[in-house]
Chain A
Amino acid sequence: MKIAVSADSPDLNAKVGSRFGTSKYFIIVDRDTMDFEAVANPGASTYQGSGVQAVVLVISKKVDTVLTGYCSPTAIGHLTTNGIQVLAGVVGTVGKVVQMYKKGKLQRQPGVKSGLEAGVKIDKTTLIHALSNSVNQIIRLLPVLTGVVLLIGLFSSFISKELLSSVFSGNIAIDTLLGASLGSIFAGSPINSYIIGGEFLEYGISLFAVTALIISWVTVGIVQLPAEIAALGIRFALVRNAVSFALSLIIAFFTVVFFTIIGV
């Protein structure tokens, strides 16, 4: 296992570099033998794109973990996508911080910040990044949300309560099963399940069915099943989805029963 530490000079006594992108060196240490290699950071002398060059260097060295002072959210994103763990806010000498990391003491050391706290450094860049991420998330949410709301509008003007009642019969067991099935088929942001669920309640459909729909919307994914199988294996994906479907019925039952008892 290899650990890359940003450093000011090419040895184990060097101080940990304060910024991942512009540190002069990376000391790449073998976790088990403590053998190390010092590599000059090609991005140290450049103002633009230094982070990218450092990311490429670290990935090419097949490193598992990066220890550094500060790492930009973008660099953290690239490193993490490539399976590299990043611990920022690290201070001390290279040799010492690697030993601390090996003992699992690094994150608990007073004064040494974790990856979370690295993100807490709310400078202008971090704020802009968080804002643009949030705007992107909302923008990604809006098209489907708009479609769902418009579709519900259509339903309300074309589908009568009587028609919906013929599908949701009023039998709690069947309705809950139907709600869970609908939730399993649909995908996307759960915000849509809340809106659909809320409108279903207006139509007199039972809270059992609506709760099962909300739970299974996230926990069961028929549409995402191929992706889940590809990532985690067919056995895991099938078992997890089947178990989650059954649990959505049980959770619906207990939630509504407790809600009825406490709410009275």
Chain B
Amino acid sequence: MNMSNRTTRKQSVMRMIYFPASVIAVYGIIFAFMPARAFLALKSSGIIFSNIIIPLSLVFILMIVLNLFLKPAYIASFLGKEAGIKGIILSMTAGIISTGPIYAWYPMLKELNEKGAGSSSIAVFLNSRAVKPFLLPIMIAYFGCLYVAILTVFTITGALVAGYIVGALVEKNVIKYTD
């Protein structure tokens, strides 16, 4: 792990703690001046928590299953090995099954890019990450099955379109620059 990667991770952890700490501090201030409002806010938050606790438990089970069967090395093996439509489909699959924050993937993507993975494949991978199989329970709890199904289809289509456009624009520029 290089220094910049470590710094990015550290910054991310700090961001992760600062945000809830700031919200709790705001609650503290409101409690001091408007306790009734603060209780109302807490009650609303409690309702949201109770709505997501069951889907969140399902998310945890799905995470274990994904972690058991999918390793980053395997996901990475999907990227940049095949050209054409097959390569794009593999990138899409890798994006969908990839987990964890995006910053963890940048070093690997950089390396794959240097080893010849095309801009299209990487763009398809990044945009396919919008489909999160292990978060489906939460999404369905909020929006229903039909909406989630339609959104998933269009998200995947959108990722393929993004890959095509990015590939066309980036490669086109490369040719122009090298000429």
Contact = CB atoms under 8 A, between A and B. Distances in A.
Asked if A and B are interacting partners, one says yes
Interface of A: 73, 76-77, 79-81, 83, 85-86, 114-116, 118-120, 122, 126-127, 129-131, 133-134, 137-138, 140, 143-144, 146-147, 149-154, 156-158, 188-191, 194-195, 197-199, 201, 207, 211, 214-215, 217-219, 221, 224, 227-228, 230-232, 235-236, 239-240, 243-244, 247-248, 250-251, 254-255, 258-259, 262-263
A81 B112 CA distance: 11
Contacts of A254: 154
Contacts of B16: 140, 143-144
Contact of B103 (A201, A227, A248): A227
Nearest to A120: B69
Given A153-B48, A215-B155, A85 B71 contact: no
A243 B165 contact: yes
Interface in B51-75: 52, 59-60, 63-64, 67-74
A120 to B, nearest CB: 6
B161 A231 contact: no
Nearest to A137: B63
A230 B4 contact: yes
A135 to B, nearest CB: 8
Classify the secondary structure of A's interface with B: helix
Contacts of A199: 48
B77 A85 contact: yes
Contacts of B142: 194-195, 197-198, 201
22 contacts: A76-B72, A77-B72, A83-B111, A114-B74, A116-B69, A120-B69, A133-B67, A140-B16, A152-B48, A153-B42, A153-B43, A157-B38, A194-B135, A195-B48, A197-B142, A198-B143, A227-B8, A227-B103, A240-B126, A240-B127, A247-B158, A254-B154
B91 interface: no
B76 A130 contact: no
A149 B68 contact: no
B141 to A, nearest CB: 8
B89 interface: no
B71 A149 contact: no
Given A134-B64, A227-B103, 17 more contacts: A80-B73, A80-B108, A81-B108, A119-B71, A130-B68, A138-B63, A144-B16, A147-B23, A149-B45, A150-B42, A189-B101, A190-B130, A218-B130, A244-B162, A258-B150, A259-B150, A262-B150
Contacts of B173: 235
In this complex, the interface size class of chain B, counting residues with CB under 8 Å from chain A, is: 35 or more
A228 B20 contact: no
A243 B166 contact: yes
Contacts of B166: 236, 239-240, 243
Contact of A247 (B111, B135, B161): B161
Among B22, B23, B26, B135, max chain A CB count under 10 A is at B23
Nearest to A140: B16
Contacts of B130: 190, 214-215, 217-219
Contacts of A190: 130, 132, 135
B45 A150 contact: yes
Contact of B64 (A119, A131, A240): A131
A219 B59 contact: no
Contacts of A227: 8, 102-103, 106
A230 B147 contact: no
Contact of A126 (B68, B100, B101): B68
Contacts of B170: 235-236, 239
B123 interface: yes
Contacts of B40: 156-157
